[in-house]
Amino acid sequence: MKAMIFAAGRGERMRPLTDTCPKPLLTVRGRPLIVWHILNLVRAGITDIVINHAHLGQLIEETLGTGEQFGASISYSAEGTALETAGGIAKARHLLGDEPFLALAADIYCPHFNFEQVKNVLEDSDVWGNPYPVDQRDVAWLYLVKNPVHHPQGDFALHSFSIANEGEPKLTFSGIGVYRPSMFDSIASGESAKLVTLLREYAARGQIGGELYRGDWTDVGTVERLAELNAPLTGHYK
C-alpha cells in the first residue's frame, strides 16, 4: 500500500511561524509533525510515500530528501498553488497507482496510530468470497475521532461502520482515510477540489465505511495548540 501525506497548506492560522517554515515541519516534542507520520508509516511497512507541497515546498524536500534516512521512499507532487485535498490527490494519481491508498493530513499529531490497521479495510469481496457490485462497495474508509473543543459539531455520523452525513452523534474526521483511486476520476490533474465534497457525495450513497479512533489525536491548527503539545509533561504522555 502507498500513502500520501497532505503538506500543501499555507498554515494561515499558524502565522507568523509558517511565514518561514511550512506547517508540516513545525516541531512537536522534538520532531517535525510530518516525520512522526513517516516513522509510523515505515513501522507499519508502508514505505512508499507521496507528499504534495506548495508553500515553502522546497524546504520540505530539502529536509526529508528521498526518505532513505527514515527507511522510506518519498516522491513529491509540487503544486505551486495549493489544489486542496482532492485536487492534490488528482494531481498525484500517477504516483499513487491503481490500488487503494492511504492519505493523511500532515498537520495532525497522533503518535500512537497503528497504520497496520488500514491495509485491508477496503474489501472487494464479502466473507464468502463473493465480489461486491462496484456501485455498492465502499470507496473510502475514514477514521473518526471524538469532537475536540474547537469543533464540537463534528463532521459525520457513524452507524455500524458506515459513515453517514446525517444522524447523531456526529464525530470529527481525523484527516486519516483510505481511498480507491476511482473516487477521483472526475477531477482533472491541476484542478482544485476539496475532499469533503466527494466524501459527502459517496456517504449519501452509503459507500463510505469507517470507525472511531480512540487514541491520542490533535489537530495542530493554531499556535496555541502547538504550544500545548510542546508544554512540559504533567504526569501523562500526549
Task: Provide the whole-model pTM.
Answer: 0.91
The torsion defined by the Cα of 109, 115, 117 and 122, in degrees rounded to 10, comes to 100
Tell the CATH topology of 3-111+118-230. Spore Coat Polysaccharide Biosynthesis Protein SpsA; Chain A (3.90.550)
Residue with cell 459527502: 200
The CA-atom distances, in angstroms, between 125 and each of 121, 136, 146, 164 are: 11, 11, 30, 22
Residues of the chain with pLDDT under 50: 237-238
Q: Tens digit of pLDDT for each residue in 41-95?
A: 999 999 999 999 998 989 999 999 999 999 999 999 999 888 999 999 999 999 9
Cell numbers standing for residue 151: 469543533
CA-based angle 22:175:213, to the nearest 5? 130
Q: Where are the domains of the chain?
A: 3-111+118-230
